[in-house]
Amino acid sequence: MARSVTPLLKSYLKSNLINQGCQHRGFSYSSCLRTGHLKFSEQVKAAIAARQPVVALETTIVTHGMPAPQNIRTALEVEDIVRQSGAVPATIGIIKGQVYIGLERDQIEYLADPGTTAVKTSRHDLAYVLSQGLNGGTTVSGTMVLAHMAGIPVFVTGGIGGVHRGAESTMDISADLTELGRTPVTVVSAGIKSILDIGRTLEYLETQGVCVATYGATNDFPAFFSRSSGFKAPYHVTSPYQVACMIEKNHELGLQSGSLIAVPIPLEFDTLGQEIETVIQSVVREAQDKGISGKEVTPYILKRVNDLTQGKSLQANIHLIKNNAAVGSAIAVELNKLKQMKGGNSSNVKETSATKGDHQKYHNISTGGKTVYPTLRNTAITAEKNVDRSSKQKKVTVVGCSIVDFTVKVTQPHFKSNGASYAGHIHQSFGGVGRNLADGLSRLGTDTLFLSAVGDDSHRAAFEQHCKHMNLSGIARLPGHRTATYCAVLRDTGHLLFGVQDTNIASQITPQYISSFERQLANSDIVCMDGNITMETIKTLCDICRVNGVPVLFEPTDLLKATKPLQSSAHTAVTLTTPNFNELRAMAEFITGKQYTSIESADDCSCSEVIEESLRLLSPVSDLIPVTMVTLGRHGVLLCSRGDFTIGKGSCVQREGAATVRHYPALPVSDSAPIVSVSGAGDCMVSAFLTNHLEGFDLDTCMTSGLQAAHLSLMSNEAVPATMSRDVLRVESRVNLTLYSLLLK
């Protein structure tokens, strides 16, 4: 049975709530805890003390919302979903005048028993129910109050109450709405039941200062059984991380109001939902004719609708609640991580058995006619994903920038930045790290989808003509925007001096746009992203890949963009990163907060000096990303990996223990075939490496092919030469390598 709160937990709760700026007007947490009004289960008590994510759950669904035995079964299954998603469930209820934060199974069974009398308990019922020693099933309002007292910021339910039809004369408005306006708890629900006046409810929530957002790609506000009510939410969010950021800002500002995240019913139940809605409207009229009002309306309508639909509405209700639990738990986990990062502990956060499943599937999907919900050991997948793909062509999705490149090569060996004009060559080509990767993969025969954006300007037609061999179905054509451009200024040796870029259009590769390709991303063997896209888009992309077991390759693009995945939990989805020496240094310095090297350019130092310094830089980076491929210019490539080198959908990559670092020297450049441009050499190398690796070739063969592709690019004005093909890169002999085995600390 649950026990009263310990002095240690009491002290933590009090200080934590005050520090978060969440202490509620009219409540004294210290007095509430001191008088024993809240009793915490051992599991919830331990989770709060350890600062683990906790999700609040109501008990009205047990006492009034569902018939037995579905009520107890659903309550326990929802708790399991929360646990499997990496959070701790705290089902809140009242038994004989005592509030329990985290009910034990026998307590849930007691409240679920048809023989148990329980009061439907909202805020205004709490004092009476407790003083009279009664049982209570907490409503949305009641659960919010008690969750806030307990310091739990996320609460999952089915649907919330609202403004009743005809409220202009009856003043029948649910207490859920005013509670949302004065209690800083985020409520995750399936929207508002269509028996209510949804338009007026949204207006009332706005008046109360409640932030309302739909969870999904659009602002369509759901109506419980239906994915769209015909009304729009003010905002929409596409990932748990976005919601967590919103909650954290709400707490930081001390707004003292809640948030409503409306999650549409899973798509597979939308047709059934439309049928149920028709029945609901007829039952609403029936209730009015019988004079049923107040608290009795919702239970009466739900029971009648369930009878008339022969149980279909109950099943849909159960599925949407479970779906909400998966979404809400993912939000709670992200919020917990965000708070730990804000507390300065982000570098010490380790993936544990309690948090491994934090990004399982947020929207359940159907497999074989059966709805599958997320578990730690079994991510929800479609039947197609269960097919053995070993004999199928590998699929790669690339997300990044499409850029028109202008290369300026100064042919004079000596020049100054003094305003003078110097002789040289100016060449236009097509680049962008994302585009280069997609181009190289496509030329080598890999099934590649490229997600990017171009403007509706003079560059678009030339881009489409040049890239016609690629799959461009994922390209957004945006009127009023400029296609990204980049100007590289090179020495006479072909090495980069500096670059100037206009890549603002990359911000139009939004999380919403990426989410619209979720199915294609989920079916990829690997997803590659470049550093030009926004941090929000990187986070959304990594969330999708994580829940579907798809590895992510991050190409830093630039030392100023190299740390983007490291600034959130996105790095936990990144399996492989491909920085150059300077980008590796930027990543290491971001992780450790200290400067590592005085080497400005790898090309200006000896090979041994560069390798020695790179090994130091790899130590902190490899703690977060298991495979790092470092390009060192004329000194070749370092490949650092932990455990067996296997990258592919569903593969298990080690993130701890011994690491092996391999050094592959660059292919020699002859005087008869000098370097023309270094732009694109690294991208070609990665393309060839990935193509061979996904086809099952050994590591040395993959790297030798990659170095040949890089060499081919160095000899060409084009970032990705049109001559690059499987036949040209056929490996007949392997480059020599030096092997370093060490335990990186």
pLDDT, tens digit, 9 for 90 and up, residues 591-618: 998 888 767 777 778 888 889 889 989 9
What CATH number has the domain bearing residue 121? 3.40.1790.10
Give the pLDDT band (50/70/90) at residue 116. very high
DSSP string, 652-663: ----SS-EEEEE
Q: Where are the beta strands (DSSP E) in 632-727?
A: 637-642, 659-664
3-state class (DSSP) for residue 6: coil
Cα 735 off chain centre by: 40
pTM listed for this prediction = 0.50
Residue 706 makes CB contacts below 8 A (sequence gap 6+) with 637, 684, 685, 686, 687, 688, 689, 692
CA distances from 571 to 86, 298, 535, 546 (A): 18, 45, 11, 10
Percent of the chain residues topping a pLDDT of 70: 82
For residue 356, is pLDDT > 50?
no
Q: What is the mean pLDDT of residues 259-269?
A: 88
Mean pLDDT, range 186-209, rounded to an integer: 90
Cα within 13 Å of Cα(355), Cβ side: 19
Does residue 652 or residue 272 have the better pLDDT? 272
Residue 104 token pair: 């034990």
Co-location of 507 and 533 in the same domain: yes
Ranges 282-296, 377-391, 402-416: which has the least confidence: 377-391
d(CA 365, CA 348): 34
Of 373 and 608, the one with more pLDDT:
608
pLDDT of 66 higher than 50: yes
Collect all residues with Cβ–Cβ distance below 8 Å to 537 and sequence separation of at least 6.
399, 509, 510, 511, 514
Residues 474 and 542 in one domain: yes
| Mean pLDDT within 186-214 | 91
How far apart, in whole angstroms, are the C-alpha atoms of residue 144 and residue 237? 22
CA torsion sign, 691 to 693 to 696 to 697? positive
Q: What percent of the chain has pLDDT over 90?
A: 40
Domain boundary among 384, 412, 440: 384
Question: Mean pLDDT for the chain?
Answer: 82
Greatest CA separation for the chain: 96
Instruction: Tell me the average pLDDT across 364-393.
Output: 35
- Under the banding of pLDDT at 50, 70 and 90, the label for residue 719 is confident
pLDDT at residue 363, as a whole number = 36
DSSP secondary structure string, 391-449? TSPPEEEEE---EEEEEEEE-SS---SSS----EEEEEEEE-HHHHHHHHHHHTT-EEE
Q: Are residues 512 and 431 in the same domain?
A: yes
Task: In whole angstroms, give the CA distance from residue 720 to residue 729.
Answer: 13
Distance CA 490, CA 413 (A): 11
Confidence band (pLDDT; 50, 70, 90) for 142? very high
Could you tell me if 654 and 640 are in contact, meaning their C-beta atoms sit under 8 angstroms apart?
no
Chain-centre distance of CA 464, in angstroms?
31
Total number of residues shown for the chain: 745
**What's 648's domain CATH number?**
3.40.1190.20
Q: Does the pLDDT at position 478 exceed 50?
A: yes
Strand 259-262 with 186-189, pairing:
parallel
- State which amino acid sits at residue 695: E
For the beta carbon of residue 513, count every other beta carbon within 10 angstroms. 19
- Same domain? For 508 and 399 the reply is yes
| Number of domains forming the structure of the chain | 2
Mention every residue, 6+ apart, whose C-beta is less than 8 A from residue 419: none
> Mean per-residue pLDDT for 219-239?
89
Helix (H) or strand (E) holding 141: helix 140-150
Domain identity same for 344 and 212: yes
**If pLDDT is split at 50, 70 and 90, which confidence band does 546 have?**
confident
Both 730 and 582 in one domain: the answer is yes
**Burial class for 590, CB neighbours closer than 10 Å (0-12, 13-18, 19+):** middle
Summarised one tens digit per residue, pLDDT across range 479-508 is: 888 898 888 788 877 777 888 888 888 888
For the record, the structure tokens of 100 come out as: 């329990």
Decide which of 378 and 204 is more confident: 204
What is the average pLDDT across 616-626? Answer: 90
Do 341 and 411 belong to one domain?
A: no
In single-letter form, the type of residue at position 451 comes to L
The set of residues, in sequence order, having a beta carbon less than 8 Å from that of 232 and lying 6+ positions away, is 219, 220, 221
Answer yes or no: do 529 and 653 share one domain: yes
The domain in which residue 303 lies consists of 3-384
Mean pLDDT of 425-437: 88
Q: pLDDT tier at 413 (50, 70, 90 boundaries)?
A: confident
Residue with tokens 């099952």: 696
Most confident of 448-462, 495-509, 640-654: 448-462
Give 496 or 575, the one with higher predicted confidence.
575
Q: Which of 349, 384, 419 is the last residue of a domain?
A: 384
Catalytic residues: 58, 193
Give me the mean pLDDT over the 285-314 stretch: 78
pLDDT of 208 reads: 94
The more confidently predicted of residues 507 and 341 is 507
Q: Assess whether pLDDT exceeds 70 at residue 391.
A: no
What confidence score (pLDDT) does residue 162 get? 85
Q: How many CB atoms lie within 10 A of CB 548?
A: 24
**Between 147 and 348, whose confidence is greater?**
147
Q: Which of 28-32, 195-199, 541-545, 656-660 has the lowest mean pLDDT?
A: 28-32
Domain boundary among 355, 384, 413: 384
Q: What is the pLDDT averaged over residues 672-684? A: 79
Q: Among all chains, which residue has been given the structure tokens 């061979």? A: 692
How do the residues of the chain divide into helix, strand and coil, expressed in percent and rounded to 5? 40, 20, 40
Tokens 């009205």, residue located: 60
Chain center to CA of 424: 46
The pLDDT of residue 368: 33
Residue 296 vs residue 634, higher pLDDT: 634
Given a cut of 50, is residue 697 above it in pLDDT?
A: yes
Specify the amino acid at residue 526. I
Residue showing tokens 């690997």: 526
pLDDT computed for residue 217 by the predictor:
79
In terms of pLDDT, which residue wins out, 26 or 108?
Answer: 108
Please check whether residue 566 is in contact with residue 542, taking contact to mean a CB–CB distance below 8 angstroms.
no
Burial of 595 (0-12, 13-18, 19+ CB in 10 A): exposed
Backbone angles phi, psi at 527, to 5 degrees: -115, 130
Give the pLDDT confidence score for residue 644 in this predicted structure: 65
Integer CA distances (angstroms), 347 to 112, 337, 485, 570, in order: 44, 11, 36, 14
Q: What is the pLDDT of residue 235?
A: 94
Tokens for 656, please give them. 């701890």
Contact 30, 16 (CB under 8 A): no
In this prediction, residue 744 carries a pLDDT of 41
Helix intervals (H) in 575-698: 581-592, 607-624, 681-694
575-592 average pLDDT score? 94
Q: Are residues 341 and 468 in the same domain?
A: no
What burial class does residue 343 get, using C-beta atoms within 10 Å of its C-beta: 0-12 exposed, 13-18 middle, 19+ buried? exposed
Q: Do residues 378 and 400 both lie within one domain?
A: no
For residue 643, CA distances in Å to 1, 349, 351, 656, 691 come to: 45, 22, 18, 9, 21
* Cβ pair 38, 148 in contact under 8 A: no
Q: Is residue 415 located within the same domain as residue 379?
A: no
pLDDT of 670 strictly over 80? no
Q: Report which of 2, 3, 4, 54 is spatially closest to residue 33, judged by C-alpha positions.
A: 4
The tokens of 432 are what?
């962008």
Q: Are residues 602 and 707 in the same domain?
A: yes
Could you tell me which residue, 517 or 673, shows the higher pLDDT? 517
Query: pLDDT grade, residue 745 (50/70/90)?
Result: very low
Q: Are strands 471-478 and 484-490 parallel, antiparallel or unpaired?
A: unpaired
Reported as a pLDDT band with limits 50, 70 and 90, residue 417 is: confident
pLDDT at 7: 52
For residue 178, the model assigns a pLDDT of 93
What stretches of 215-291 show up as alpha helix (H) in DSSP? 240-253, 270-289
Does the pLDDT value for residue 74 go beyond 50? yes
Contact 260, 251 (CB under 8 A): no
The H or E element spanning position 515 is helix 511-515
CA dihedral 214, 215, 220, 223 (to 10 degrees): -80
Handedness of CA 701, 704, 705, 706 (dihedral sign): positive
Query: Among 361-365, 447-451, 494-498, whose mean pLDDT is lowest?
Result: 361-365
Residue in 119, 56, 53, 133 with CA at minimum distance from that of residue 86: 53
Answer whether 188's CB lies under 8 Å from 157's CB.
yes
Residue 710: is its pLDDT beyond 60? Answer: yes
pLDDT of residue 343: 58
Segment 317-336, tens digit of pLDDT: 888 899 999 999 999 999 99
Mean pLDDT score, 65-85: 91
